[in-house]
Chains A and B, each alone.
Chain A
Amino acid sequence: MMARRMRGRGVAASWYGIARTATIDRAGAWAELDDGGTAKVVTGVTEIGEGILTLLAQVAAEELGVRPEDVTLGDNDTARSPEAAHAGATRQTYMIGNSVALACRDARAKLFAEIADHWDVAEDTLRAFNGELWAEGSNLKMTMEEAVAVCKRRGVVPVGSGSFTAHGTGLDPVDGSGSPWQAYVFGTQVAEVEVDTITGEVQVLGIWAAHDVGRAINPRGVEGQIEGGVVQGLGQALMEDYQLDKGHTTTHGFAKYILPTSLDIPEITSVIVEDRDPLSPLGAKGIGEPALVPTAPAIMNAIHDAIGVRITSLPATPEKVLAALKAKQQSEQQRQAAE
């Protein structure tokens, strides 16, 4: 006899490609070092929740020598901003992040050229960070506000633009051969579950999620993506089920379509692995989608570890778990009877 509550663990690995698939992906951005040592960055996207605006402000601040809060981001508007294309395909950090980095480098180069001439130092001795600009090996230093003012007095507005390309190729129509992405990420998750063998209910108690993101621009943001992905994966593993009866849905609201809520949430331990992308200025890859991939199979493998039944059709609802347990018991009894 099995105990009522059985625990087990499972693991699943995964891989994923960054940016649009089997095609050339591209994105553009504009940047300007502005009065007061602030900055304007224009791209064609806005936040869908992943934290892209904060990440772009960090990238722009780092590249321009200002602070993230000094960066004004605009303008998710096809008539006012360069092409950025879609907010999906785990492409925002990679495509937009890199195009913003390139645009900012372009703008910074214009500023540095003027300041180097103004100070009579070599351009490559100039550094800028956190609102200040200085020349290495000297005591020359000024604020970014002063630097922009000097640049403008000399007749130059420090503006820049950037375009970033990811070189994917199409797949051969016969054997599928091709190089769909230039950057890949890998992940592994371990799940620990407890199965109630009387009710069939599965609780996920812990998830350990290790993901390569290339380079974590904002580690807390990466964790947020992993946690959100894990919980969506958990929902699909255990409860979510859009049902149709001859094309008519029977799950037309959240009373019928069950989503994970606060009591379903396991403790989630994120481990960020950084294998930098060699083909892009930032070295970052992405995490939005890949975080979800291994969760459901890790949970199914953990259920198997706990109670010896394998659920091959999602979701593993209590009814399915109980039916599988029953089938297992019957086949064991038959085997014993035959022996």
Chain B
Amino acid sequence: MSDFEMELEVNGRKVRRRIEPGQRLLDFLRDDLNLTGTKEGCGAGECGTCSVFVDGKLVKSCLMPAAKAQGTKVETVEGLAKPGELTPVQRAFHKTGASQCGYCIPGMVMAATSALRENPDAGIDEIKERLGGNICRCTGYTKIFEAVELAREVIAGRLNPATLEADPAGESFIGNNVRRLDAPSKVSGRLRYAGDMVMPDMLHMQVLRSPHAHAKIRSIDTSAAEALDGVACVITCDDVPGEDGFGVFVHDQPVMARGKVRHVGEAVAAVAAEDIATARKALKLIRVDYEELPGLFDPEDAMQPGAPVIHDYAPDNIVKHIPVRKGDVEKGFAEADIIVEQTYETQQVEHAYLEPEAGIAYVDADDVVTVISPSQNITHHRHMLAHIIDRPINKVRFIMSPVGGGFGGKEDMIYQGMLALAAMKTHRPVKLVFTREESIIASAKRHPSRVTYRMGLKKNGRITAASFRMISDGGAYGMSTEGVMRKAAILSCGPYDIPNVQIDTYGVYTNNTPSGAFRTFGGMQAQFATESHLDICAEKLGLDPFEIRRINMMRDGAVTHTQQKLGSVSLARVLEAAEKASRWEAGPVGQRGPVRGDLGGEGTRQPCTLGSRIKSADGHNKEKVA
């Protein structure tokens, strides 16, 4: 297939363009027409961020060849309302606070618009079904549902459009539900994330990644790639002028692999070229000579004496061990009436922010190396990059672009260094956007954990001692592991007043995808164990789960596991609030479900049953549309 001239209507205007073979409708809209409200969250039809209307039908533009849009009418998020205006759906999203990071929001607005166009009277179950192809990682969907129902009522004339306006100021702006100031830019698709930005004369970067979990690099030959037409530069670790290492705690990770690779997907070299296709072609011309090394894939194997060493500085493969001791656990266990032991495991979890990593770097007229990216810590990144490129700190500048979801996953400087090096080598702006697959293999995850728990209690439910040992797979690089182990240790045994504790958390190097910061920073893994364990203990003692927590809870002035004396402690208040709100029926832990009287009331939804929820106008069920 060769280039062909396409004619179509986009947002009410005739467009005639030459398109390239194989171009997706998504690329045509974003790259050729600069309509960047349509986002690429996955490129595989799985997330819905790229949703547009083609001849009135909602489609995922990442799956549609541009050529197929010939002669059609395409409507994107930018075309829903006149410039400067918002549709009732968009205004409802603004009103309810339905946008957070905003990256899913243009697609959500399209899906919601489609739902109400298809059925202006769609009920909540149908709305949920019709939004089923769109992922949102931030909002928990609840405010989105509320927005669609609100818009439905306004469009139908059952609610006054004034409902969509701001609440009155009242006596204070604190405690007021001020509508999000950034929402109009998000619901209209106008906000530009790093991947939506372009600069004149910009180069495109692609990254060569390790196919091996653990291997020595004997040599890298970039000559053929460099010779390719359209390639501006190829960079490897040899291009790093300063001290090569970054990490949130230990700086154990080179900008690109240095001497060896430690996990699949690690960056080995990068190409900056005139376009992405050329950069991809060049990657194939880079020759890397690897010598595979035995890999470690389980932290407990990595802790064995004589295990292969992943980082020379840590011959025992331990990133960090955090001990916490209070009182005398042996004495505490001796005093206990029962001792309960159990192990717990949590899995590795992907952040799955809908915005994949992206950035642009350039060197400005004053020789300031500048990186624009959705970094969660520009202060620290600036520090580290200054050392890596050996420049004074005021010659390094980080600009934090709107972050399309982070959850801790954008605290690691895993690509900004490469962008800076390429910009320095070419003196041209360089842009990199990860694919979803690349984001998944190269970015940090939530630490998987194994906890061995031992708790001693009196018959009356009072905890006398706890021992908590957690082993976490830190993966190939340190990233946030040290801090995660620290927070996990501090919070481990929960908000309970336990006189004797022995806590150990270990973060361990392996050749798995690195683990790093992820919302709760180890707190979730640790407290999953504690809160499960308390229920097991309550069952053995015939106690209600609220009761065992109240018996042991920290109160005002409590001393924590790390021996900090607290001031006010609100645990009693939140326990009571949850108990009341849920109309909790007290009773001992056990299989009480079938006899409970508090099930299914206010605050619950109907369970989903297989089959369709979409009712057509004549009241008949329709097949679920994929």
Q: Do A and B bind each other?
A: yes
Known: A227-B143, A273-B573. A47 touches B403 (CB 8 A): yes
- Is A321 close to B, CB under 8 A? no
Residues in chain B near residue A305, CB distance under 8 A: 589-593, 596
A77 to chain B, nearest CB (A): 5
Q: Which of B138, B345, B440 contacts A228 (CB 8 A)?
A: B138
Interface of chain A residues 123 through 141 with chain B (CB within 8 A): 129-130
- Is B535 close to A, CB under 8 A? yes
Q: Which of B29-37, B97-105, B218-226, B251-259 contacts A (4 or more CB under 8 A)?
A: B97-105
Q: A14-B527, A175-B324 are in contact. List 18 more A-B contacts (CB 8 A).
A: A7-B596, A8-B592, A15-B571, A46-B402, A49-B101, A78-B398, A86-B379, A87-B376, A87-B377, A203-B608, A206-B603, A206-B605, A221-B177, A252-B441, A259-B352, A273-B577, A275-B573, A294-B527
Known: A240-B350, A248-B264, A253-B46. A13 touches B574 (CB 8 A): yes
Residues in chain A near residue B531, CB distance under 8 A: 12-14, 294, 297-298, 301
Interface of chain A residues 288 through 333 with chain B (CB within 8 A): 288-290, 292-294, 296-298, 300-301, 304-308, 310, 312-315
Would you give the 0/1 interface string for A234-268, flagging 1 where the beta carbon is closer than 8 Å to chain B?
Answer: 01100011111011110111110101111101111
By beta carbon, the residue of chain A nearest B489 is: A176
Nearest 7 CB-CB pairings of A with B: A247-B213, A49-B101, A176-B324, A227-B140, A8-B593, A86-B377, A297-B531
- Is B229 close to A, CB under 8 A? no
B361 to chain A, nearest CB (A): 14
- Is B132 close to A, CB under 8 A? yes
Residues in chain A near residue B608, CB distance under 8 A: 203, 263
Residues in chain A near residue B593, CB distance under 8 A: 6-9, 305-307
Q: Is the CB of A224 within 8 A of B397?
A: no
A residues whose Cβ falls under 8 Å from a Cβ of B: 3, 5-17, 21-22, 44-51, 53-54, 57-59, 61-62, 67-69, 73, 76-79, 83-89, 129-130, 171, 173-180, 184-190, 192, 194, 203, 205-206, 208-212, 215-221, 223-224, 226-233, 235-236, 240-244, 246-249, 251-255, 257, 259-263, 265-269, 271, 273, 275, 278, 282, 288-290, 292-294, 296-298, 300-301, 304-308, 310, 312-315
Q: Is the CB of B577 within 8 A of A289?
A: no
State in angstroms the CA–CA spacing of A243 and B562 once bound together.
34
- Is B84 close to A, CB under 8 A? no
Residues in chain A near residue B483, CB distance under 8 A: 21
Instruction: Say what secondary structure dominates the interface of chain A.
Output: mixed
Q: Is the CB of B44 within 8 A of A254?
A: yes
State in angstroms the CA–CA spacing of A244 and B349 once bound together.
11
Residues in chain A near residue B402, CB distance under 8 A: 46-47
Residues in chain B near residue A243, CB distance under 8 A: 348
- Is B503 close to A, CB under 8 A? yes
State in angstroms the CA–CA spacing of A246 and B211 once bound together.
12
Q: Is the CB of A247 within 8 A of B263?
A: yes
Q: Is the CB of B546 within 8 A of A186?
A: no
Residues in chain B near residue A10, CB distance under 8 A: 535, 545
Q: Is the CB of B441 within 8 A of A253?
A: no
- Is B563 close to A, CB under 8 A? yes
Q: Is the CB of B44 within 8 A of A253?
A: yes
Q: Is the CB of A273 within 8 A of B263?
A: no
Q: Is the CB of A21 within 8 A of B405?
A: no
B454 to chain A, nearest CB (A): 14
Q: Which of B347, B532, B592 contacts A297 (CB 8 A)?
A: B532
What bracket does the count of chain B residues touching chain A fall in? Answer: 35 or more
State in angstroms the CA–CA spacing of A8 and B590 once bound together.
10
State in angstroms the CA–CA spacing of A292 and B446 once bound together.
13
Known: A176-B489, A259-B137. A296 touches B591 (CB 8 A): no
By beta carbon, the residue of chain B nearest A211 is: B574
B600 to chain A, nearest CB (A): 7
Q: Is the CB of B178 within 8 A of A297?
A: no
- Is B582 close to A, CB under 8 A? yes
B241 to chain A, nearest CB (A): 20
- Is B553 close to A, CB under 8 A? yes
State in angstroms the CA–CA spacing of A206 and B596 once bound together.
15
Q: Is the CB of A15 within 8 A of B377?
A: no
Q: Is the CB of B376 within 8 A of A227?
A: no
Known: A205-B604, A271-B577. A228 touches B182 (CB 8 A): no
State in angstroms the CA–CA spacing of A221 and B532 once bound together.
29
- Is B394 close to A, CB under 8 A? yes
Q: Is the CB of A262 within 8 A of B141?
A: yes
Residues in chain B near residue A221, CB distance under 8 A: 97, 177, 180
Residues in chain A near residue B42, CB distance under 8 A: 253-254
Known: A233-B524, A247-B264. A171 touches B562 (CB 8 A): yes
Residues in chain A near residue B157, CB distance under 8 A: none
Q: Is the CB of B411 within 8 A of A79?
A: no
By beta carbon, the residue of chain A nearest B262 is: A247
State in angstroms the CA–CA spacing of A194 and B593 once bound together.
10
Residues in chain B near residue A57, CB distance under 8 A: 178, 181
Q: Which of B178, B376, B487, B573 contacts A68 (CB 8 A)?
A: B178
State in angstroms the CA–CA spacing of A16 and B397 once bound together.
33
Residues in chain B near residue A257, CB distance under 8 A: 350, 352, 440
Q: Which of A61, A208, A220, A313 contacts B344 (CB 8 A)?
A: A313
- Is B342 close to A, CB under 8 A? yes
Known: A7-B593, A261-B135. A46 touches B403 (CB 8 A): yes
By beta carbon, the residue of chain B nearest A203 is: B607
Would you give the 0/1 interface string for B406-423, flagging 1 where the beta carbon is closer than 8 Å to chain A?
Answer: 111011000000000000
Q: Which of A11, A86, A206, A231 contacts B376 (CB 8 A)?
A: A86
Q: Which of B173, B349, B440, B532 contacts A300 (CB 8 A)?
A: B532
Q: Which of A174, A218, A219, A273 contacts B323 (CB 8 A)?
A: A174
State in angstroms the CA–CA spacing of A7 and B593 once bound together.
5
Q: Is the CB of B140 within 8 A of A15?
A: no
State in angstroms the CA–CA spacing of A209 and B342 once bound together.
27
By beta carbon, the residue of chain B nearest A207 is: B603
Q: Is the CB of B571 within 8 A of A186?
A: yes
Q: Is the CB of A308 within 8 A of B590?
A: yes
Q: Is the CB of B594 within 8 A of A3?
A: yes
A212 to chain B, nearest CB (A): 4
27 A-B residue pairings within 8 Å (CB atoms): A7-B596, A13-B574, A15-B495, A48-B406, A48-B410, A78-B378, A171-B486, A175-B325, A184-B566, A184-B569, A186-B495, A186-B569, A188-B571, A210-B574, A211-B574, A218-B175, A219-B177, A221-B180, A224-B100, A231-B139, A236-B347, A244-B513, A273-B577, A292-B519, A293-B523, A304-B591, A305-B596
State in angstroms the CA–CA spacing of A258 and B280 once bound together.
29
- Is B436 close to A, CB under 8 A? yes
Residues in chain B near residue A260, CB distance under 8 A: 141
- Is B131 close to A, CB under 8 A? yes
B247 to chain A, nearest CB (A): 14
Q: Is the CB of A242 within 8 A of B323?
A: no
Would you give the 0/1 interface string for B129-147, flagging 1 where the beta carbon is closer than 8 Å to chain A?
Answer: 1011111011111111100
- Is B520 close to A, CB under 8 A? yes
Residues in chain A near residue B562, CB distance under 8 A: 171, 176-180
Most buried by A among B96, B175, B400: B400
State in angstroms the CA–CA spacing of A322 and B625 once bound together.
30
Q: Is the CB of A88 within 8 A of B377?
A: yes
Q: Is the CB of A293 within 8 A of B524?
A: yes
Q: Which of A58, A76, A184, A188 contacts B174 (CB 8 A)?
A: A58
Most buried by A among B139, B376, B403, B578: B578
Q: Which of B407, B486, B605 contacts A232 (CB 8 A)?
A: B407
Q: Is the CB of A7 within 8 A of B599?
A: yes
By beta carbon, the residue of chain B nearest A2 is: B594
State in angstroms the CA–CA spacing of A301 and B532 once bound together.
7
State in angstroms the CA–CA spacing of A133 and B519 once bound together.
42
B325 to chain A, nearest CB (A): 4
Residues in chain A near residue B295, CB distance under 8 A: 246-247
B596 to chain A, nearest CB (A): 7
